[in-house]
């Protein structure tokens, strides 16, 4: 939080773009969009770490081609049958944690992350699932500033497991997951090293913002009983929610959007400059870094005077402020639609099937993402 407050104070004095040591801080959303677009105009993937160590470059591959291969699969994964399976996985995790004191932040991360893994790799057996779980647990613990197991070893074992899975998938039948386009469409162009890195990058992506957002949703529900009731009434009456979560649950959608505005994960986005950038008065050289802060974009008192007020009904009108919970193009989160759907389904579980009782009031702290502090309680069936 100290760094965010430093940014806020300096923005008030120096404006929304300033240098912090050797990093350029960009808090103007229009400038941030322009800088990000210019920086990633050339989106060529680097050779894999293994190829770099061997002095090999490999074929030139644009990351946009990887994203383009993933997009149809992501659309498929938001179809009703896959969202129902996602909701069932979250339900199973919650039902296994009933009637015992819990760290609610860890529960939120565990539920969000574990339920998303099959969207990346659908056919993990128990052994490989355990290998991946150790790596993901280490990553989550690091994000939450908690003691972590030996993460380097866990990461290496997870990478080796992903390599085996890619080779197996390339030679076998397809599955409805994000591994499939990598193994069956792009492996020949990417090479095995970059194919592993692309897959592990997606696995890393699901360990952060989804869990943080789920914890923030639970945090706001726990201290706003009036919204719990409104969401519970809507979601109990919603038929076939997985067909179109946002249109079938508009009140819940507004609540989720406001949570993401109030508590945007991640807190900061650090980008290494890939190519010379000269836009909007900004001059950057390759190797420098720039930092953006979606949280402060959403809490800009000049654009949103009541930014500190939690008000989902502000979304009844078109917003007059910038809203970037999934970052700026061309590096916006590919899974935004799945993320919103997951949070709506999370709200349904928390307001219609389970009751969460918290031990004491919590407050939000700023780690890698906004995180409720000392957020403990018990989950029971309704």
The predicted-structure confidence for 6-62, as pLDDT tens digits, reads as follows 999 999 999 999 999 999 999 999 999 999 999 999 888 877 776 666 667 677 889
- Per-residue pLDDT of 229-242, as tens digits, reads 999 999 999 999 99
Residue with tokens 């702290």: 365
Average pLDDT on 143-149 reads: 83
What CATH number does domain 40-265+325-374 carry, 1.20.1740.10, 3.30.460.10, 1.20.1090.10, 1.10.630.10?
A: 1.10.630.10
pLDDT of residue 297: 96
CA-CA distance, 235 to 350, in Å (whole number)?
10
pLDDT in tens, 196-211: 999 999 999 999 999 9
CB atoms within 10 A of CB 381: 10
- The verdict on whether residue 242 carries a ligand-binding annotation is no
> How far is it, in rounded angstroms, from Cα 272 to Cα 281?
18
Burial of 237 (0-12, 13-18, 19+ CB in 10 A): exposed
Q: Which sign does the torsion angle of CA 144, 146, 150, 152 carry?
A: positive
Q: What is the pLDDT of residue 359?
A: 82
Per-residue model confidence (pLDDT) at position 1? 61
Token pair listed for 335? 């899974």
Beta bridge partners of 354: 381
Instruction: Give domain limits for the chain.
Output: 40-265+325-374
Helix, strand and coil content of the chain, in percent to the nearest 5, comes to 55, 10, 30
Predicted confidence at residue 55, as pLDDT, reads 67
Which distant-in-sequence residues (6+ apart) come within 8 Å of 338 by Cβ? 74, 77, 78, 86, 116, 119
Alpha-carbon span 284 to 278, nearest angstrom:
7
Confidence of residue 65 (pLDDT cuts 50, 70, 90): very high
pTM more than 0.85: yes
């Amino acid at each position: 939080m100290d760094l965010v407050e430093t940014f806020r104070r300096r923005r008030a004095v120096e404006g929304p773009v300033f240098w912090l040591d050797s990093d350029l801080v960009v808090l103007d959303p229009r400038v941030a969009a322009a800088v990000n677009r210019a920086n990633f105009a050339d989106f060529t993937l680097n050779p894999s770490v293994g190829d770099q160590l061997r002095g090999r470059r490999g074929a030139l591959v644009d990351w946009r081609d990887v994203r383009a291969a993933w997009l149809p699969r992501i659309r498929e994964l938001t179809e009703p049958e896959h969202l129902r399976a996602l909701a069932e996985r979250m339900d199973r995790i919650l039902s296994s944690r009933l009637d015992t004191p819990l760290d609610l932040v860890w529960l939120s991360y565990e539920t969000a992350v574990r339920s998303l893994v099959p969207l990346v790799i659908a056919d993990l057996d128990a052994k490989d699932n355990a290998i991946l779980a150790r790596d993901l647990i280490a990553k989550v613990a690091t994000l939450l500033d908690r003691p972590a197991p030996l993460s380097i070893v866990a990461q290496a074992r997870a990478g080796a497991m992903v390599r085996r899975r890619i080779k197996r998938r390339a030679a076998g039948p397809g599955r409805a997951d994000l591994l499939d386009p990598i193994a069956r469409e792009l492996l020949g162009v990417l090479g095995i090293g970059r194919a592993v890195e692309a897959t592990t990058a997606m696995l890393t992506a699901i360990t952060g913002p989804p869990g943080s957002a789920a914890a923030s949703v639970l945090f706001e529900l726990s201290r706003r009983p009036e919204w719990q009731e409104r969401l519970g009434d809507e979601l109990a009456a919603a038929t076939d929610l997985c067909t179109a979560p946002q249109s079938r649950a508009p009140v819940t959608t507004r609540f989720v959007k406001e949570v993401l505005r109030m508590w945007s994960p991640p807190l900061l986005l650090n980008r290494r400059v890939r190519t010379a950038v000269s836009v909007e008065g900004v001059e950057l050289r390759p190797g420098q870094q720039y930092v953006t802060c979606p949280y402060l974009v959403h809490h800009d008192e000049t654009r949103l005077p009541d930014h500190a007020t939690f008000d989902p009904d502000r979304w009844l009108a078109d917003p007059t402020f910038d809203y970037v919970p999934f970052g700026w193009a061309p590096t916006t989160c590919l899974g935004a639609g799945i993320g919103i759907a997951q949070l709506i389904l999370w709200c349904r579980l928390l307001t219609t099937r389970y009751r969460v009782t918290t031990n004491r009031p919590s407050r939000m702290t700023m780690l890698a993402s906004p995180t409720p502090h000392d957020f403990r309680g018990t989950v029971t069936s309704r």
